[in-house]
Amino acid sequence: MSDLLTQAEYQAIAADLDFPRTAFIDGKYRAGSGSVFATVNPVTGDPLAEISGCNADDVDFAVSKARDAFEQGHWSKMHPSDRKDVLIKLCKLITRNRRELAVMESLDSGKPILDCETIDVPETIHCIKWHAEAVDKIYDQTSPTGDDAISMIVREPIGVVGAVLPWNFPLMMLAWKIGPALAAGCSVIVKPAEQTSLTALRVAELAHEAGIPRGVLQVLPGDGPSVGEPLGLHMDVDMVSFTGSTETGKRFLRYAADSNLKKIVLECGGKNPAVVFDDAENLDHVAGHVVNAAFWNAGQNCSATSRLIVHTAVKAPLMEKIKARLRDWKVGDPLDPNTHIGALIDAEHCKKVRSFLDKNDQGEGPFVAPVIYHVKTGDAKASDEIFGPVLSVIEVASNDEAIAVANDTDYGLAASVFTANTRRAIRAARDIRAGTVTVNCYGEGDIATPFGGYKQSGFGGRDNGVHAHDQFTELKTIWIDLTDPQSGDNVG
Ligand SMILES: NC(=O)C1=CN([C@@H]2O[C@H](COP(=O)(O)OP(=O)(O)OC[C@H]3O[C@@H](n4cnc5c(N)ncnc54)[C@H](O)[C@@H]3O)[C@@H](O)[C@H]2O)C=CC1
Ligand code: BAL
C-alpha cells in the first residue's frame, strides 16, 4: 500500500504508455486480417489505441503455429524444471514491468489503480509462479495391477488450447489460464475480451522475452464472432478454457459438438448468496465481508455476493453497519489511489446494469454508486446476474428458509455463510450447491484451491489448484506386461 503513487504520478505514467496495437503471433507482433477496432478508456469513452483485429484466417495461422510448436516439443517436451525456470523468468519480467501493467489495466478496464497495484498484478504473478513451482513436483501414478503387469497412469499436455477471456479481470484471468496450461506444456492461443486486449498482448511479448518459444503463447484480439467462434469451431484445437457469461459458455459446447469434440471448460456467471444466520457473531465483521464481496470491482465479478439472505433477527443492525461501511467507498477516477469503485466497462454494460436500477440510483456516465435493494425471491434483482454494484437483500424467518433461498437459483458458483455454530456452518456449506462456500468470511479461496461452479455456473473442470493442471492434460494409461514372452502365458 505504501508503495502506491499519487494520482498525478499515475497520470504521468499513463501519458507515456506505449500500447500494443496488433496480435502477437508466432513470436512477434503482427497485424491481424480482421477489422481495426478501438480499445476505449471506460472513463472518458476515448480510444486508447486502435487495434488491428483478427479473423478466422488469423486463427487458422495461429493454430498451425501452435500445433507446430507443440509437435516440435521445444516447450511441450521440455523438462518440467526447465519450463518452471522460464515461467519464473516471465514472473520476474512482469514484476519489473508491474507499474506499467497496472496502469494499462486500469486505463483499459476502468478498474481502480488501487486494485490493479495491490491485487490484479501481484495475483497474476503469484498464479503463474505457483503453477510453475508445482509442475516439477507433481508425480504420475501406477495402478494396483497383479504381479504379471505394471501400469503407469501418466498425464500429458492436452495440446493446442484456446483461452477465451472476460473483461472484468483481464490479467488475472489470463494468468488463471496460461499459468497451468503453459506449465503443463500446452500451446495456448489467448482471445482476450475485445474491451481489454492490452495487458494480454504485453504479457505475450514478455513471455517471448522470457524464453517461451514461438507459437507457444499467442494472443489474438478481436470480438467473439471473429476470433472466439473460429477458435471454438477449429478442428485442430484440442481444448477451450472459457470464462464469461453462461450464454456464451453454452455456445462453446455447441462449437465443440459441431467440430472435433474438443474439451470445453467453462467458468460462467453467478448469483451468489451471503447467508447470515440468526446467531452470526460480530456483525461489524460480517458487514465488512458483505461490502467487499458485493461491491469490489463494482460488482463485476462472477463470484460477487449479489444476494444477502439475512435472518430477521439480525437484519436491522447488519444493514446499519453495511451502510456505515459503504460511506468510505469512493466512486470515481480509477487512477486516484483512493478510489474503490471505478468505471463500469462500457456503455452497453452500463445500460444493462441501469435497467435494473431505480431512476434515482442510476448515476451518470460510466459511474454507478453502490446500491442496496430489499427484494423478494422471484424478483429479477433476486435472480438475474446484474454484474454491477447492486446488492439484493432477502429477509428470511428461519435458517432452513435461508438455505432454500440460497439454492433457489440457476447458478452455483460461490456462497458464504455467517454463524457462530460450527455444526450449522458445516451443514450449510454441504447443503448449498456451489463450487466454493466460505464460512464467516467471503472469498474465492486462494490459488491452491479449485474454483468453478455447480449448475449453470460452470462445466468441465476447475481453475486454480492442481486441479487446473488436470484440465490441461490428457490422462494416459500405459500397461506393461511383465510375463515372460517365451512362456506364452500372456496370450488370451
Ligand atoms: N466471469 C464471469 O462470470 C463473467 C460474466 N459476464 C456476464 O456476461 C455479461 C455479458 O458480458 P460479455 O462481455 O458480453 O460476456 P461474454 O461471455 O459474451 O464474453 C466473454 C468472452 O467471450 C467472447 N465471446 C462473445 N461472444 C462469443 C461468441 N459468439 N463466440 C465465441 N466467443 C464469444 C467475448 O469476446 C469474450 O472474450 C455481463 O453483463 C455479465 O453478466 C461477463 C464477463 C465475465
Ligand atoms: N473472479 C474470478 C472470475 C471472474 O470474475 O470472471
DSSP-assigned letter for residue 22: S
What would the pLDDT profile of 137-167 be if each residue is shown by its tens digit? 998 999 999 999 999 999 999 999 999 999 9
d(CA 171, CA 262): 25
For the CA of 247, the nearest atom of ligand 1: 17
- Whether the per-residue pLDDT at 2 is higher than 60: the answer is no
Which pLDDT does position 1 carry in this prediction?
Answer: 45
Q: Residue written as cell 437483500? A: 393
HSE at residue 248, side-chain half, CA atoms within 13 A, is 19
Name the strands in the sheet holding 187-191, side by side, starting at the edge strand that comes first in the sequence.
28-30, 23-25, 217-219, 187-191, 160-164, 239-243, 263-267, 458-459
Nearest ligand atom owner, CA of 246? 1
Contact 74 CB / ligand 1 (< 6 Å): no
Give φ, ψ of 248 to 5 degrees.
-70, -35
Using an 8 Å Cβ cutoff, are 463 and 176 in contact? yes
- Whether the per-residue pLDDT at 46 is higher than 50: the answer is yes
Contact 268 CB / ligand 1 (< 6 Å): yes
Q: What is the average per-residue pLDDT within 315-322?
A: 98
Q: Residue written as cell 456467471? A: 269
- Whether the per-residue pLDDT at 87 is higher than 60: the answer is yes
Distance from Cα 268 to the centre of ligand 2, integer Å: 8
Using an 8 Å Cβ cutoff, are 267 and 458 in contact? yes
DSSP secondary structure of 273-293: EEEE-TT---HHHHHHHHHHH
Is this prediction's pTM over 0.95?
A: yes
SS3 30: strand
Using an 8 Å Cβ cutoff, are 391 and 374 in contact? no
146, with CB counted inside 10 A (0-12, 13-18, 19+), is exposed
Residue nearest to atom 19 of ligand 1 (CA): 244
Q: What is the largest CA-CA distance in the chain?
A: 87
Of 111, 268, 301, 462, best ligand 2 pocket probe by most atoms within 8 Å of the beta carbon: 301
For the CA of 444, the nearest atom of ligand 2: 1
Which pLDDT does position 486 carry in this prediction?
Answer: 85
SS3 56: helix
d(CA 90, CA 175): 11
CA distance between the termini of the chain:
69
Percent residues over pLDDT 70 in the chain: 99
What would the pLDDT profile of 329-366 be if each residue is shown by its tens digit? 999 999 999 999 999 999 999 999 999 999 999 988 99
Contact 246 CB / ligand 1 (< 6 Å): no
Which pLDDT does position 491 carry in this prediction?
Answer: 60
| Other Cβ atoms closer than 10 A to 475 | 11
Which pLDDT does position 126 carry in this prediction?
Answer: 98
DSSP-assigned letter for residue 120: I
Minimal CA–CA distance to 110: which of 172, 44, 15?
44
Ligand 2 binding site (Cβ under 6 Å of any ligand atom): 166, 168-169, 173, 243, 301-303, 444
Q: Is the ipTM of this complex over 0.95?
A: yes
Q: 485 falls in which pLDDT band (50, 70, 90)?
A: confident
Which pLDDT does position 14 carry in this prediction?
Answer: 98
Which pLDDT does position 363 carry in this prediction?
Answer: 87
Domains of the chain, earliest start first: 7-268+457-476 (3.40.605.10), 272-439 (3.40.309.10)
DSSP secondary structure of 176-203: HHHHHHHHHT-EEEEE--TT--HHHHHH
What would the pLDDT profile of 164-208 be if each residue is shown by its tens digit? 999 999 999 999 999 999 999 999 999 999 999 999 999 999 999
487, with CB counted inside 10 A (0-12, 13-18, 19+), is exposed
Q: Could you give the residue numbers annotated as active site? A: 267
Q: What is the average per-residue pLDDT within 113-132?
A: 98
Nearest ligand atom owner, CA of 445? 2
Nearest ligand atom owner, CA of 248? 1
